[in-house]
Amino acid sequence: WEVGTRYVQNTRLLNTLCDLVSQIRQAQRLMPSFAAMFQDFDAELFMILPRLIWLRFLAQPSQHSELLTSLLPEARSGEGEFDAFVHKFRHTQQILVESARPSGSETAAYEALVQRAIL
């Protein structure tokens, strides 16, 4: 019941989880091998899911901050190492966007990062 209270009754966390599920489904369409991991209950899946959660948080920190804080209470904005990590993500994403010219879309950059997280 505690898990239900924390994640389902809290509208903000529930919306975050729904968004995360949507992104996981999108990653499955992008990488069929990732979809197969779900079907096969592959142990590697549990190494990939935390990476995807991080990527989703880094892409939209304000929307996903409550989920990240519930999973990693020590990960807080305003702390040097944490802020440096967020900055490094944004810099990497910008480099990917610029290298994806002429499209240069953030979506393409994010998909490239998702593919790297799964591989």
pTM of the model: 0.79
For tokens 């079907």, the residue is 39
Per-residue pLDDT band at 33 (split at 50, 70, 90): very high
Q: pLDDT value at position 70? A: 84
For the cut 80, the answer to whether the pLDDT of residue 45 exceeds it is yes
For the cut 70, the answer to whether the pLDDT of residue 7 exceeds it is yes
Q: pLDDT value at position 29? A: 92
For the cut 70, the answer to whether the pLDDT of residue 62 exceeds it is yes
Rg of the chain in Å (alpha carbons): 15
Handedness of CA 45, 20, 34, 108 (dihedral sign): negative
In angstroms, the Cα distances linking 97 to 43, 93, 105, 116, 117 are 32, 6, 6, 15, 17
Better pLDDT: 5 or 116: 116
The two structure tokens encoding residue 46: 């549990």
Per-residue pLDDT band at 21 (split at 50, 70, 90): very high
Tell me how many degrees the CA angle 19-25-27 measures, rounded to the nearest 5.
105
Q: pLDDT value at position 77? A: 67
- The percent of residues above 90 in pLDDT, for the chain, comes to 31
Give 112-119 contacts, CB < 8 A, sequence gap 24+: 113/55, 114/23, 114/26, 114/27, 114/30, 114/31, 114/52, 114/55, 115/30, 115/31, 117/48, 117/51, 117/52, 117/55, 118/27, 118/31, 118/33, 118/34, 118/48, 118/51, 118/52
What pLDDT digit, counting tens, does each position of 98-119 carry?
Answer: 886 666 678 888 888 888 899 8
